[in-house]
């Protein structure tokens, strides 16, 4: 996804939050923020790709502060929120075997995103409201049809905590007689799920786990490992979670491979890019 003008202040807002999480040295924060403004001045222009810029900013913060995982405590909070909300989701799913409700459950999990929404929002209220809203774009039937003609699915995970809800959807996908491989980050960035997070919730018991080979926000085709790039190229069907993955995948040409994006459009630029209102639940098959 290309940047919109609104992305610039969001980059700075997110950089401030990451810096506050990463260190307490005010002089160092000024020094790093100065570098970030220079970085934005050189990399932010019409046609620039949003998750490429975001990745550069957060790598700079990790490098300069020496904090390899600024969102560590935030990710723990995400796990706690997900765990507390999971019984409510299970109540919604009870007795309903339709793929769409499992898709919605996975999208609701996408709201555990302190990077996009800030670190002070009320996720439980927002998640309940979201679950009761219809899908603004509903390509679930297309997914069902495509699942019948493939044997392998590559599932791109997004945030820690959220993967508890992904596990519900993945369990449902397996009923279509497909083998699911879940891709996670090799190293921490933002509140994204790393492979050890997936092991902690037993995701390896129902799916194969791999890493993208890097710490990029979403998928940046030129930056993932050669092994993961080959996996993306050879996969029969891709399911992607979250904003960052949408930003990256919408920049990749897949030669008619079915690619589905599950997300809540938490920011105005993503909503504009997809063509829906901000805050919409989306199950979109990329063209």
pLDDT of residue 127: 67
Topology, domain 72-285 = Rossmann fold (3.40.50)
Q: How far apart are CA 256 and CA 285, in angstroms?
A: 11
pLDDT of residue 122: 60
Which has the closest alpha carbon to 183: 169, 174, 195?
195
Instruction: Tell me the whole-structure pTM to 2 decimals.
Output: 0.94
pLDDT of residue 113: 60
Q: Are 220 and 192 in contact (CB under 8 A)?
A: no
Q: How far apart are CA 220 and CA 213, in angstroms?
A: 11
Class of domain 7-65: mainly alpha
CA distances from 217 to 141, 158, 191, 212 (A): 29, 9, 10, 11
pLDDT of residue 115: 45
Q: pLDDT tens digits, residue range 36-84?
A: 999 999 999 999 999 999 999 999 999 999 999 999 998 888 888 788 8
pLDDT 10s per residue in the chain (287 long)?
Answer: 999 999 999 999 999 999 999 999 999 999 999 999 999 999 999 999 999 999 999 999 999 999 999 999 988 888 887 888 888 888 878 777 899 989 988 988 887 664 444 445 566 666 677 677 789 999 999 999 999 999 999 999 999 989 999 999 999 999 999 999 999 999 999 999 999 999 999 999 999 999 999 999 999 999 999 999 999 999 999 999 999 999 999 999 888 899 999 998 989 999 999 999 998 999 999 98
7-65 and 72-285: identical CATH topology: no
Domain ranges of the chain: 7-65, 72-285
Q: pLDDT tens digits, residue range 2-26?
A: 999 999 999 999 999 999 999 999 9
Cβ contacts of 145 within 8 Å, gap of 6 or more: none
Please count the other Cβ atoms lying within 10 Å of the Cβ belonging to residue 37. Answer: 14
- Which DSSP letter does residue 183 get? E
pLDDT of residue 121: 53
């Amino acid at each position: 996804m290309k940047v919109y003008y609104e992305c610039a202040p969001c980059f700075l807002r997110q950089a401030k939050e990451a810096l506050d999480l990463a260190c307490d040295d005010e002089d160092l924060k000024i020094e790093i923020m100065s570098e970030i403004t220079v970085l934005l001045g050189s990399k932010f222009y019409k046609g620039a790709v949003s998750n490429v810029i975001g990745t550069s900013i957060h790598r700079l913060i990790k490098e300069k502060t020496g904090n390899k995982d600024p969102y560590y405590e935030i990710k723990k909070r995400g796990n706690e929120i997900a765990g507390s909300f999971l019984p409510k989701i299970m109540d919604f799913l009870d007795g309903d075997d339709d793929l769409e409700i499992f898709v919605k459950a996975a999208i609701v999990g996408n709201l555990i995103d302190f990077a996009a929404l800030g670190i002070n929002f009320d996720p439980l209220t927002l998640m309940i409201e979201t679950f009761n809203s219809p899908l603004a774009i509903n390509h679930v039937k297309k997914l069902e049809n495509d699942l019948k003609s493939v044997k392998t699915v590559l599932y791109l995970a997004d945030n820690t905590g959220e993967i508890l809800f992904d596990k519900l959807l993945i369990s449902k996908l397996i009923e279509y007689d497909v083998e699911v491989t879940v891709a996670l980050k090799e190293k921490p960035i933002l509140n994204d799920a790393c492979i050890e997070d997936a092991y902690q919730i037993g995701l390896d018991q129902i799916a194969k786990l791999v890493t993208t080979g890097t710490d990029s926000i979403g998928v940046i085709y030129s930056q993932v490992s050669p092994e993961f790039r080959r996996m993306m190229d050879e996969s029969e069907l891709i399911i992607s979670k979250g904003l960052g993955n949408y930003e990256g995948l919408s920049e990749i040409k897949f030669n008619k491979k079915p690619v589905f994006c599950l997300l809540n459009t938490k920011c105005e630029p993503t909503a504009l890019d997809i063509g829906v209102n901000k805050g919409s639940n989306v199950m979109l098959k990329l063209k």
